[in-house]
Amino acid sequence: MGKVVMNPEEIVGQSKRSWFRRHPIWTVLMAAAGVLFLLGITLYILPFNVDNSAESNPATTHDEAVERITAVQQEEQASGEINPVCTSNVMTHDEKTEKVIVFYHGFTSCPEQFRELGEAFFDQGYNIYIPRLPYHGHADQMSEALLNTTAEELAVFATESVDIAQGLGEEVIVGGLSGGGTIATWIAQEHNDVDTAVMVAPFLGIGFIPAVLNRPLTQIANRIPNIWMWWDPQTKADNPSTQSYQYPRYPLHTLAQYLRFGFAAEEDAKRVKPGVESLILITNQNDESVNNQIIADFKKIWTSHGEEHIRTFEFGKDLGLPHDVITPTREDGNPALVYPIIVDYINGGGE
């Protein structure tokens, strides 16, 4: 019989087929990795859109603004579900003042969180409005109300609160912590009827997850069945850091809605400059809850538009401050250190 001669291409092809046949497990793993890689890329580039249906209707007088807040408070009280210290809080000097601050409390907290800081500014002549975020502040700390949250509703809520503020002060300032910082970030990008936006540890990404993975994981979290998460999986409902007016757990779906809200603002920031000209970013090196890299990336996007009015401050890691630097009753907090810095920056310091 004659000798069979294969050309080089046939030899390489047979070698490849032989390798895959000899290593079926590695073949499956490599194929799965390839699929996951393509899925990750797809989820990363998928856009985050928030349909903002809110139509601005600013209050024209102090009395009109107070009437709107009173209506909100009456609705909260009539529900019979809201902790009395968690109803929307307003502090006014019975007239429209030069400046008003709207403080947005943190995710799973309530207006009581910002009361003491609000009083400090009130004593300086500011009018103060601390609205209750949607579905927060229920007397039942195990309430499942948060599950109803959507980014679209957060956009409406933000616009309505800014509209109220127009009647309380000539100069409108908004500030928020964590999830409230997400709302302040969205306002900073989307509103041009606010003078200053202050974002304290804004929740724009999960801290212990690499920045590059936050977008695809948010897309996944929005699509899988909801999971309830404890702030502290060990102590659960007995978490010593959870105040009596705060929720000790949260639904993953709602967390994803806040992230979606922030990512939508980020995508708009890549196209157009922020509507608010004066921006203040306050972060904490010791914060493991929010992603400081994503916050820094957001700042770079804003500064790429030539923004010269961004002031920043970062608490050092050595201070050991918690993510929640606002709640005055936290044993690991330090309001005596934190509050004066926030007051100074809002009053124009920190240049």
Mean pLDDT along residues 93-109: 98
In this structure, of 13-17, 24-28, 43-47, 82-86, the range with the lowest mean pLDDT score is 13-17
Side-chain-side CA neighbours of residue 90 (13 Å): 22
Q: In sequence order, which residues have a C-beta less than 8 Å from that of residue 118 and are 6 or more positions away?
A: 89, 91, 101, 103, 128, 130
> How large is the C-alpha radius of gyration of the chain?
25
> How many angstroms separate the most distant Cα atoms in the chain?
109
C-alpha–C-alpha distance, residues 248 and 233, integer Å: 10
Residue 16, number of CB atoms within 10 A of its CB: 10
Q: Is the pLDDT of residue 2 over 90?
A: no
C-alpha angle 276/282/285, rounded to 5°? 150
- What angle, rounded to 10 degrees, do the helices at 151-166 and 62-79 form? 140
Q: In sequence order, which residues have a C-beta less than 8 Å from that of residue 18 and are 6 or more positions away?
A: none
Q: What is the DSSP letter of 206?
A: B
In this structure, of 134-143, 246-255, 265-274, 305-314, the range with the lowest mean pLDDT score is 305-314
pTM of structure? 0.88
Q: How confident is the model at residue 51 (pLDDT cuts 50, 70, 90)?
A: confident
Sign of torsion, CA 183 102 137 320? positive
End-to-end CA distance of the chain: 91
Q: Is the pLDDT of residue 13 over 80?
A: no
**DSSP assignment of 41-59:** HHHHHS-------------
Query: Collapsing DSSP states into helix, strand and coil, what is residue 88?
Result: coil
C-alpha angle 265/91/240, rounded to 5°? 70
Sign of torsion, CA 54 304 101 324? positive
C-alpha–C-alpha distance, residues 272 and 66, integer Å: 34
More confident residue, 327 or 307: 327
CB-CB contact of 77 with 87 (8 Å): yes
